[in-house]
A and B are shown apart, each in its own frame.
Chain A
Amino acid sequence: MKVLVPVKRVVDYNVKVRVKSDNTDVDLANVKMSMNPFDEIAVEEAVRLKEAGTAEEVVVVSIGPDKAQDQIRQAMAMGADRGLLLTTDQDLESLAVAKLLQKVVEDESPQLVVMGKQAIDDDRNQTGQMLAALLDWPQGTFASEVKKDGDKLHVTREIDGGLQTVALNLPAIVTADLRLNEPRYASLPNIMKAKKKPLEKKAAADYGVDLEPRLTKLKVTEPPQREAGIKVESVAELVEKLKNEAGVI
């Protein structure tokens, strides 16, 4: 089967993002950008399916600025076969991204789409579920294990109470959680090889999809700051403070 993996270029997870002083947005000037960590896990899973003979081809797609080529190349260095970049300078919302991905799915006819559960910039956690809805496909979200069993896909999901396994008809959408796998580092030879793999570019605007945002960002502010606390010297002092000062025990 063919597997499609959507990857997003986002601020690196180590960056502590700051709010702009005019409160219009966060300040992303000169910060390090990377592939969304959950998408690395998705790429790894797709590549493992290929290595196991379950998948024949792994196609990576990103929607974003021209620079998102770097993340597609990284996915190809990890083992994806080819890439597709839908270029846009707009900061698209999940619904618009899902509609674009729907078009890509119609063009590419994958049997499985593996994506991240959440992009760590906007923390929305919804694109995979939306794509599944638009396609009327089943969804295996927050996956910690994926196994093909005959014509079904068994997905184990990380839920609030523990783990849940569902069986999905194919084609299906899977969104990766942290413990699905540990993504590999691309080796230097594979990074070189990835430079020769095909990467097609198209304009997102050419897909005939409504990309207008539905949400207006009125302002972006600092979260409430906690007042600096104190260091206690001993367990006895800690317990005394918790009982008499904070009154929480």
Chain B
Amino acid sequence: MAVLVIADHNNEALNDAVFKVVSAAQKIGGDVDLLVAGENAGGVAEAASKVAGVRKVLHADDANYGKRLAEPMAELIVDLAGSYDAIVSSASTDGKNFMPRVAAKLDVMQISAITAVESADTFVRPIYAGNAMATVQSKDAKKVITVQPTAFDAVGNDGSASVETVGNGAFPGISEFVAEELTKSDRPELASAKIVVSGGRALGSNEAFEEYIYPLADKLGAAIGASRAAVDAGYMPNDYQVGQTGKVVAPELYVAVGISGAIQHLAGMKDSKVIVAINKDEEAPIFQVADYGLVADLFEVMPQLKDAV
């Protein structure tokens, strides 16, 4: 058995999620190899060789992989797939983009966003916004799987895998990168932060996030999240959205401020270890999942909370 894990990275740094995806891959069984496809990503390949339990790192370097567009990525992965029983990646927006393309080219039904590995062919995944968990067994000879990283413990950083260059130089040439607008922040990454402070529609503006959410987050060293309503209204950028169709987080502490707790939001945060809800409506559904609920006006208590922690 051998498993190929596709590494998430940005050409400069390996994403934290890789350590968790490798841990899921080990549960499937067999040797685990890690593919780093990027542009001038030698440093990332080097970092990948330290991920514990990895047999070898496959490094493909080309401008065509610089932004990990689905078309060249799928071509590359399908080309490597022959030697593997399973191909695994994080359920990041990169993985969600190219993995189903790989699956269809291999005539395989992808198993999306798994949260547990029962055996080499049986996996658990949430369905219906996490209101049910399905255990599914795959009949496909080769498995194509995306992993919900928050559901797995990270492997260590003391590996010593060899690095091998790969790449067949075949690029479909049907898509190209034009531009990107990346959110810059010195705060921890939302998906892997230990503490997340999230705001909802109740904030009413971006300025209110700055005044009532940021100070607490900064004092706690937390990442910031938002509900869909807050993102739709333009209070925060799209990549802050937590939920069924945004990011899934499972921090030690999740503080939901002025968020009602719609099932689509709960799907993205209900596996957090401790949940705090601050909402002025004592009937708000968020209180049903909160360990500590404070019925209060956020504009009154958030400054107090910042001072008290």
Contact = CB atoms under 8 A, between A and B. Distances in A.
Interface of A: 11, 13, 16-19, 26, 38, 93-95, 98, 117-118, 120-134, 136-139, 141-142, 144, 154, 157-169, 177-179, 213-224, 226, 228-232, 234-236, 238-239, 241-242, 246, 248-249
Nearest first, the 4 closest Cβ-Cβ pairs linking A and B are A126-B100, A129-B100, A130-B104, A133-B104
B-side interface size class: 35 or more
A64 to B, nearest CB: 17
16 contacts: A26-B131, A98-B104, A118-B245, A123-B125, A142-B96, A157-B93, A162-B237, A179-B238, A215-B111, A218-B122, A218-B137, A219-B135, A230-B291, A238-B276, A239-B309, A248-B195
B308 A216 contact: no
B70 interface: yes
A131 B104 CA distance: 8
B133 interface: yes
Contacts of B237: 162-163
Given A95-B108, A216-B139, A160 B247 contact: yes
A226 B289 contact: yes
Contacts of B301: 235
B129 A120 contact: yes
A194 to B, nearest CB: 28
B182 A26 contact: no
A132 B92 contact: no
Contacts of B174: 136-138, 168-169
A45 B232 CA distance: 17
Interface string B164-195: 00000000101111111111000000010001
- Between A133, A177, A228, the greatest number of chain B beta carbons within 10 A of the residue's beta carbon is seen for A133
Nearest to B177: A166
Contacts of B98: 129
B295 A242 contact: no
B136 A161 contact: no
A18 B96 CA distance: 27
Interface in B237-261: 237-239, 244-245, 247, 252-253
